[in-house]
Amino acid sequence: MSFQDMDVFSGHLVLSITKDGLPLLCSINLPINHHCKHPAVLEEFNPWFFPLPSNLCSILPGSNHDFMNPVYRTVLSSPVMPDLIVDYDLSRRTFSIVHQEVVKGVSLPGGSSSSVDAKKTLYPLSSKEIKDANIIEFEMHRWKEVYDIYCCERREVASHDGVKVPLTILYSKEAWRQGQSPGLLHVYGAYGEVLDMTWCPNRLSLLDRGWLLAFADVRGGGGAGSSWHEAGRGCDKENSVYDFASCGKYLVEEGFIREDRLCAIGSSAGCLPIGAAINIYPDLLRAAILKVPFLDICNTLLDPELPLTTLDYEEFGNPQIPSQYESIMRYSPYDNIPSGGCFPSTLVIASFLDSRVGVWEAAKWVARVRDHSCSSCSRSVILSTNMAAGHFSEGGQFQHLKEAAFEYAFLMKVLCIHPSGAFS
């Protein structure tokens, strides 16, 4: 168990906790007895663990600026649950649903669609009662239709050194076909950042076509606390690569997807494990999408004039130190491209005004892959450069939808999948 953050109120202390890689919130009544003669454990303070609809929820604190207010607001989300605003009454130990995002056009059994809004409901349940009831009393039946169609599972995958890597799997119970469906594996694994697995309606387009979506919480990220980050940074950065590859192999070996239909997507530093895994395991992926990719690691870290170079020494190492240089060169995607080998179809998306990852990194990697790979593979490595965007692309809802549609169309064309979802 690790403590991530806290909020202090006049009579309560709210703690943000990560346990076994899963987020939790709890409150403790103040004042706390500070005359303990021995190290105290959390359970001694009679904490109230906030009831959650699922262990896979992500928790985002709301605007809680009133010191005297005993109500704590949060936004809950999961891959199969639209954003839910919940108020937790710290004094009464109750909670109420304020609002839930409305989703229109979700296909339900029988041809109906879902456009359900949340009603405000009060639940005077204790933590013990919630646990005993297996959180059923949270009354998520308002979104039971979504749960009936889309399944979300959490698995643990053994990496190259035996460490268990969390893998979240999302698929449609109706459209997914075991051992036949294509899969898209998401990864980041850097800076101690937690992999984003919040609700995203764009994913429904793939799920309804039979795709399986997976999220690999590789070392270097923040899913299991600071130790998880430490185990995937600096000279241990290779762990991120092998964790990602192990998760991809697991999806194939366990029959979640077909062997030649595994795809991957990453952004910025999240492209590093994908690019490195392609060099080591050229047959692992059928297609990849690399967005504003950090691929030319060694050359970038050797240039202190770039904005993030010195800051990135702690994350990836300093190539001016011989031992760290050797570590970087073992996995650097740009420096380890094999000659004459085959590469998966790859869409590389760069931004000309990117101040974090230079546009030249994507251009150099694509040029080198085309030069080193076989002639048929070189034609399937595509570079798309947005001349008006920065690191986080262009803003606006419709622009993001346009980008997602372009990426999904690329994947379906590579896998020869008809827009209706039929596999060829």
The single-letter DSSP state of residue 203 is G
* 3-state class (DSSP) for residue 3: strand
Distances (CA, A) of 65 to 60, 91, 124, 204: 15, 17, 24, 35
Q: Are 263 and 284 in contact (CB under 8 A)?
A: no
354 is catalytic: yes
Question: On the CB side of 224, how many CA atoms lie within 13 Å of its CA?
Answer: 19
User: Of 356, 352, 364, 242, which Cα lies nearest the Cα of 299?
Assistant: 364
d(CA 237, CA 324): 11
User: Which residue is it, tokens 């130190």?
Assistant: 321
Distance of CA 320 to the CA centre of its chain: 32
* 3-state percent helix, strand, coil for the chain, nearest multiple of 5: 30, 30, 40
Residues contacting 211, CB < 8 A, separation 6+: 171, 176, 181, 182, 183, 184
Strand blocks (E) in 57-104: 58-61, 71-78, 81-89, 94-100
Handedness of CA 292, 294, 299, 301 (dihedral sign): positive
Residue of 78, 345, 354, 373 marked catalytic: 354
Q: What's the N-to-C CA distance of the chain in angstroms?
A: 47
d(CA 104, CA 397): 16
Of these residues, 16, 89, 372, 391, which one is catalytic? 391
> How many alpha carbons fall within 13 Å on the CB side of residue 364?
16
- The catalytically annotated residue of 268, 345, 351, 393 is 268
Segment (H or E) for 381:
strand 381-386
Catalytic residues: 268, 354, 391
